[in-house]
Structure 1
């Protein structure tokens, strides 16, 4: 069970960032405890209270390539060990879908160790979301009680559409689409129409808004972005930083600029993540 970190500086009364704690669902800790210490110091300096950290070793210079089974296992073990030593950390593991049964075996192993989230990244891992092996991996993750965090920055053609179809084909798995389509976030308003069809509740889709929230806040897109968040469902929106690429201070500050109620912001900052991960 997570302990809320008392790692924040007091801000002036009424400060938006001090309003409620933040569960940062998207943190890359490439150097383990050293990265965690640097991240927490940065967050504390910004005056942000943390309620949890979704941490992964995978990303940037550390990629999970097909066939590199030993490196993937070692990386997963490193974040599992980090979480064991730091209860604020929610470990996020990875596999490569093209490793077939070996990937499914690794999923079972990390799930048994308490991992609740699997991260997959089609662009950097160089796989096609439409490949049947991706569906098999996502399906098995759901069977093991794991959510699947997938990159959704719309870097590759058809990114949004392929992820939509994957979520439809695997309704028993909860998906978190990171970056919410980037500047193609408009696509996800299709959920309003999809939900009018029988069997298309799409309640298994969540969004990490790291990235586009920073671009939308204070821009001509801000009203449309806020409208999209409400269309897909505030209860399905999560806040991530994508640290070290972007700071949590910037992401949380951008969220505060949006014309949302305090209750909606509190759910996005922490409440939705804690409910999704059963904390």
Structure 2
């Protein structure tokens, strides 16, 4: 299959990497020969992940080698965002400056390879109007098509009112926001500890953390305030499609909440999840998960994602060619839905 739109890939900038290596507290990185040890969560400084230097080399590549890899696997365009932790967790002024610098690096790549890279801005979530202005700069001047924010920043979540100027700007500009998971907050991570990255990271902690974040956005009324605002989730929705019916309980079964403590919303939680969110299959190439997400949100909201370079195109593209869906749905997932969301022109995917 050619013409695929990959809705989740990541990059490093040299400047951002140097900053991580210069730090003594998380987020930081240690170099051990051909290995990299990465500590990403300030509230859980003992938790780390080790990965080979080749992953870092691929993250730093926004040039011909990346484009050649895309060509070899039929990838027409990649959504590219700064890898975890983004610039989210640093002090305000450090984060604002680092975000602008990283966005400029990606913006140069977007300009150098027209149509191949779909830039997503990194932002300081609690920067208020300054961060909203940075998103507008990235969209109107650098040609970006969205933003990427991680699932919490310290003990603050994105339902914090200081984040809402970004939501207003994203709705006004007509671009989506991707929520990328990270480790659970330190006050929540205790049950995950003792098993390293295995339990607290992609195995379980990432999905739990992102799901909590999404529910907080819904229950805070973000989508009642900004009804056209669109978000994206990877990994088949961090298990939220599985929980939709349960999340609706207080709204469809009055005896569940007799004291009326549930947030008063204009729609049921499941309606926000199917009308304000888009999903991709990155790093979850598993038929039961993909089919559950497909049935829960519909074929018009599911997209392809690889999570490059943490996952391989051999597996990701092999999966999209063989997953058990109809051919019309395969085309939607491969490219048509992404083209609609990102307002892309040009030919669609074809088998």
Fold shared per TM-score above 0.5? yes
Structure 1 residues 102, 85: closer, same or farther in 2, change over 3 A? same
Could you state the TM-score of these two structures normalised by the residue count of structure 1? 0.77
* Alignment partner, residue 30 of structure 1: 12
| In 2: Cα distance, 1:127 partner to 1:146 partner | 23
Q: Is 1:154 matched up with 2:179?
A: no
User: Is 242-251 or 62-71 further displaced after alignment?
Assistant: 62-71
Structure 1 21/118 Cα, relative in aligned 2: closer, same or farther at 3 Å? same
- CA 1:193–1:86: 2 relative to 1, 3 Å: farther
CA distance in 1, matches of 2:128, 2:85: 24
User: Residues 7 and 280 of structure 2 are in contact (CA less than 8 Å); yes or no, is this contact kept in structure 1?
Assistant: yes
**Pairing 1:175–2:203 present:** no
1:92 aligns with 2:164: no
Give the distance between the partners of 1:146 and 1:59, measured in 2 at CA. Answer: 19
1:125 Cα deviation after fit: 7.3
| Equivalent position of 1:7 in the other structure | none
Q: CA deviation at 1:60?
A: 3.7
Please state whether the residue corresponding to 2:300 is helix, strand or coil.
helix
TM-superposed CA distance for 1:245, in Å, is: 0.8
The structure number with the bigger radius of gyration is 2
1:96-148 deviation digits (Å, cap 9, x = unpaired): 12122221221222222122211111247774122112233222211122211
Give the RMSD, CA atoms, in angstroms.
Answer: 3.1
Q: Answer yes or no: is 1:59 the counterpart of 2:83.
A: yes
Q: Does the residue aligned with 2:61 lie in a helix, a strand or coil?
A: helix
Number of aligned pairs?
A: 251
Deviation at 1:54, TM superposition (A): 1.0
How far the C-alpha of 1:85 sits from its partner, in A, is 0.9
Displacement of 1:261: 0.4
Correspondence list, 1:65-214, <5 A:
65-67=90-92, 68=94, 69-87=96-114, 88-113=116-141, 114-123=143-152, 127-151=156-180, 153-156=206-209, 158-165=212-219, 166-183=222-239, 185-188=241-244, 202=272, 203-212=275-284, 214=285
> CA contact under 8 A between 1:63 and 1:124: conserved in structure 2?
no
Measured after TM superposition, the shift of residue 43 of structure 1 is: 3.6
Once the two structures are superposed, residues 145-200 of structure 1 have per-residue CA deviations (whole angstroms, 9 ceiling, x without a partner) of: 22111125424272342244444543221111222333554124679999x99756
Segments of structure 2 that go 5 or more residues without pairing to the other structure are 14-58, 182-205, 253-264, 345-351
Which consecutive residues of structure 1, in runs of 5 or more, have no partner in the other structure?
1-17
**Larger displacement relative to structure 2 (30-39 or 84-93):** 30-39
The 3 A distance-change label for structure 1 pair 28 and 125 is farther
Structure 1 residues 175 and 256: CA distance shift in structure 2, 3 A: same
Native 8 Å contact 1:176 1:207 kept in 2: yes
Distance 1:211 1:193, change over 3 A: farther
